[in-house]
């Protein structure tokens, strides 16, 4: 881990990273926290400002990391899709603890819903693509969708919808959020 951070700093020509993200929990909580302690040492050294974790779909595991961490995770990066029940309980935990929830696989994991006539119609009414509508949905519910596009056009569209929302524009009202949640199949908080 230490060699990796040093190489990243060198390759990026910087003295610090904004956030270091653990790819996933290790095989045991003891191993996970051992790696997390090394991550925390980078924050203490000024090499990293914030820590996060990815691919952590179990609330009990994430809560244990949070409880044991000296430097709390500032972000959770997970796939946003039906197989994980859209991380309903994890997203609520993140909201309660002021942790940024960042979704990936946001479009790929929801292709069927985005292809429905209802979503396409709502996107048309909003003068968006179904994909940018999905990103608007994620941002409206307080999350950050991570874009993996390699298309300049799609990236321009993604940035434009983010700027509109950050500028205060309301793209989706509460009823439209509920409507999209239902089409996506997002369960109610438990």
Q: At 6, which helix (H) or strand (E)?
A: helix 2-11
pLDDT of residue 190: 45
Q: How far is CA 107 from CA 131, 147, 173, in A?
A: 7, 9, 21
Could you read off the pLDDT of 161-184 as tens digits, one per residue? 999 999 999 999 999 999 999 999
Mean pLDDT of the chain: 96
0.75 exceeded by pTM: yes
Mean pLDDT over 11-38 rounds to 97
pLDDT at site 189: 57
Lowest mean pLDDT among 58-62, 86-90, 146-150: 146-150
Contact partners, residue 40, CB within 8 Å, separation at least 6: 51, 69, 70, 71
Residues 6+ apart with CB under 8 A from 20: 5, 39, 42, 48, 50, 51, 52
Check whether 69 has a pLDDT greater than 50. Answer: yes
Q: List, for residues 30-60, the tens digit of each pLDDT value.
A: 999 999 999 999 999 999 999 999 999 999 9
Q: Is 188's pLDDT higher than 80?
A: no
Give 40: exposed, middle or buried? Use CB within 10 Å, 0-12, 13-18, 19+.
middle
Measured CA to CA, the distance from residue 190 to residue 11 in angstroms comes to 44
Q: CA-to-CA distance for 81 and 107, rounded, in angstroms?
A: 9
Section 57-69 average pLDDT? 98
């Amino acid at each position: 881990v230490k060699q990796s951070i040093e190489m990243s700093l060198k390759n990026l020509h910087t003295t610090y990273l904004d956030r270091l993200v653990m790819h996933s929990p290790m095989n045991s909580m003891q191993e996970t926290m051992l790696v997390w302690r090394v991550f925390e040492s980078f924050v203490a050294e000024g090499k990293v400002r914030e820590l996060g974790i990815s691919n952590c779909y179990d609330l009990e595991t994430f809560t244990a990391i949070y409880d044991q961490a000296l430097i709390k995770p500032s972000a959770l990066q997970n796939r946003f899709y039906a197989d994980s029940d859209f991380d309903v309980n994890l997203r609520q935990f993140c909201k309660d603890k002021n942790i940024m929830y960042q979704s990936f696989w946001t479009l790929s994991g929801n292709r069927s819903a985005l292809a429905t006539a209802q979503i396409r119609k709502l996107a048309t009414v909003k003068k968006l693509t179904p994909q940018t509508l999905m990103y608007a949905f994620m941002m409206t519910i307080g999350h950050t969708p991570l874009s993996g596009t390699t298309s300049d056009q799609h990236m321009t569209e993604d940035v434009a919808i983010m700027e509109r929302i950050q500028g205060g524009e309301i793209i989706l009202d509460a009823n439209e959020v509920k409507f999209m949640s239902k089409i996506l199949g997002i369960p109610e908080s438990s």
